[in-house]
């Protein structure tokens, strides 16, 4: 009996608050078997006072687990509790064979706020990625799928449950497209640099063109894939129409060219190239006039107003006269290019001048002949007055 009492005294003596416990920045309290607080350190006292609380028993749980005090091998009882504006993780530790337990309280308010923020962010991210119309999926370093959004399901026809945890080769057939995609994934895994590519995906009875953007993600990769089939088809149709238009312009015997607002030549037909030579990156004023600056007679203000213009000009470089038609071309980026049709009317003007000169000479001859006839008539009239038959 004396041995048991000695052991208990040592146990209770070991549990007595030390200077280290008193100085601890976390609240520490002792509780006896009757639920009475027998000790609280300075941190506990400071918290209670700053919170306007008087009862230190507020750190206790609502109910202790059965046999807490009677267990031969006692274990700590851990729980979370909101006290005032703080959230604590509390560990209640009984002493074997003793009637005292020590409460360790740790302020986890900031941790909980961070966890809540992370959870909200995760939920928001799930909503955002789930609602993204582009395909979004992620792979680990073994090229196993770890994320698969709803757009992937629409495009590929597989739910995330059918894909997550499986490798790329388990989902897609071993063909050239799959090999190309896996090679891109591995390059990004190896060098850590984003990569973009175009892929043709054949599935669900159609062929789609996908624009794939691959980014490093921890030890794996994230992949954004966009179906650009309609865009590419539209680009092909546009290119076909552009080639048709170019062929038409190339065969027109008049000079035709198009320049941007920055005087960059966007098109010159063969007629003008034959006359002025290769473009070689020249600005329009360098190509046509051999100037170092834009032509002073340019009519950009009228073109930028969106109205076509027709005018004539004699070229200082060649001395030829041109009938010019400037047509505004509205670009997708909001800029306006100028399409000019150049018709050489030098010969026509020379012919017109010659005709005008001939008309003047003819009128002069007619006037001279008319005067001669009038003189003859007057002479005849005079003879008649003198009685000549």
Nearest to 139 by CA among 200, 212, 211: 212
Joined together, the tokens standing for residue 309 give 């213009």
Domain 132-227 in the same topology as domain 2-112: yes
Q: Residue 374 — pLDDT band, cuts 50, 70, 90?
A: confident
Mean per-residue pLDDT of the chain: 85
DSSP class of 64: P
Residues 80, 74: Cα–Cα separation, whole Å:
20
Give the residue-averaged pLDDT of 131-145: 87
pLDDT over threshold 50, residue 1 = no
* Under 8 Å between Cβ of 263 and 340: no
Q: CB under 8 Å to 297, separation ≥6 — which residues?
A: 313
3-state secondary structure 22-55: HHCCCCEEEEECCCCEEEECHHHHHHHHHHCCCC
In what order do the strands lie in the sheet containing 28-32?
A: 37-40, 28-32, 100-107, 86-94, 77-83
CA dihedral 250, 255, 261, 264 (to 10 degrees): 70
Q: What CATH number is given for 2-112 in this structure? A: 3.30.450.20
| Residue 207, phi then psi, degrees to nearest 5 | -110, 125
Q: CB under 8 Å to 106, separation ≥6 — which residues?
A: 26, 88, 89, 90, 91
Residues 194, 239: Cα–Cα separation, whole Å:
30
CATH class of 234-344: alpha beta
Residues 163, 223: Cα–Cα separation, whole Å:
15
Residue 388: predicted pLDDT: 53
Nearest to 55 by CA among 43, 80, 37: 37
Whole-model pTM above 0.85?
no
From residue 285, alpha-carbon distances to 171, 180, 270 in Å are: 59, 48, 18
Query: At 197, is the secondary structure helix, strand, or coil?
Result: strand
Q: What CATH number is given for 132-227 in this structure? A: 3.30.450.20
Q: Residue 8 — pLDDT band, cuts 50, 70, 90?
A: very low
Residue 90: predicted pLDDT: 94
Q: Where are the domains of the chain?
A: 2-112, 132-227, 234-344
Instruction: Give the distance, in angstroms, between the CA of residue 253 and the centroid of all CA atoms in the same chain.
Output: 45
CB atoms within 10 A of CB 288: 23
* Under 8 Å between Cβ of 322 and 342: yes
Residues 100, 68: Cα–Cα separation, whole Å:
11
**How many CA within 13 A on the CB side of residue 162?**
9
* Under 8 Å between Cβ of 137 and 217: no
Query: At 170, is the secondary structure helix, strand, or coil?
Result: helix
pLDDT in tens, 158-207: 998 999 999 999 999 888 889 999 999 999 999 999 999 998 888 777 88
pLDDT in tens, 295-354: 888 888 888 888 899 988 888 888 888 899 999 999 989 899 999 999 888 888 888 888
Residues 92, 61: Cα–Cα separation, whole Å:
9
pLDDT: is 343 or 1 the higher one?
A: 343
pLDDT in tens, 90-128: 999 887 666 888 999 999 999 998 888 878 766 666 665
Give the residue-averaged pLDDT of 220-228: 91
């Amino acid at each position: 009996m004396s041995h048991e009492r000695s052991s208990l005294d040592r146990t209770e003596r070991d549990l007595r608050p030390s200077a280290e416990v008193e100085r601890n920045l976390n609240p520490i309290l002792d509780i006896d078997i009757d639920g009475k607080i027998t000790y609280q350190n300075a941190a506990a006292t400071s918290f209670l006072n700053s919170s306007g609380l008087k009862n230190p028993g507020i750190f206790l749980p609502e109910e202790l687990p059965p046999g807490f005090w009677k267990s031969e091998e006692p274990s700590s009882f851990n729980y979370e509790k909101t006290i005032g504006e703080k959230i604590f993780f509390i560990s209640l530790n009984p002493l074997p064979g003793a009637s005292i337990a020590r409460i360790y309280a740790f302020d986890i308010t900031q941790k909980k706020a961070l966890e809540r923020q992370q959870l909200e962010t995760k939920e928001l991210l799930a909503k955002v990625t789930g609602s993204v119309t582009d395909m979004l999926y992620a792979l680990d370093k073994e090229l196993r799928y770890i994320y698969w959004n709803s757009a992937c399901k629409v495009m590929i026809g597989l739910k995330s449950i059918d894909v997550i945890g499986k490798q790329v080769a388990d989902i897609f057939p071993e063909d050239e497209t799959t090999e190309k995609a896996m090679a891109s994934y591995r390059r990004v895994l190896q060098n850590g640099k984003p990569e973009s590519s175009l892929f043709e995906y054949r599935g669900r009875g159609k062929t789609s063109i996908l624009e794939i953007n691959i980014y490093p993600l921890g030890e794996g990769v994230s992949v954004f894939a966009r179906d650009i089939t309609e865009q590419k088809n539209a680009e092909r149709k546009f290119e076909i129409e552009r080639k048709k238009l170019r062929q038409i312009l190339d065969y027109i015997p008049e000079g035709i060219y198009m320049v941007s607002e920055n005087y960059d030549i966007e098109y010159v037909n063969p007629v003008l190239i034959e006359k002025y030579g290769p473009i070689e990156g020249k600005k329009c004023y360098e190509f046509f006039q051999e100037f170092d600056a834009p032509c002073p007679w340019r009519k950009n203000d009228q073109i930028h107003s969106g109205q076509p213009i027709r005018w004539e000009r004699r070229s200082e470089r060649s001395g030829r006269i041109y009938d010019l038609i400037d047509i505004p071309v509205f670009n997708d980026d909001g800029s306006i290019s100028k399409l000019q049709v150049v018709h050489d009317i030098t010969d026509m003007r020379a012919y017109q001048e010659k005709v005008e000169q001939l008309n003047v000479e003819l009128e002069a001859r007619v006037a001279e002949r008319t005067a001669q006839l009038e003189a003859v008539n007057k002479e005849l009239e005079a003879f008649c007055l003198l009685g000549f038959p």
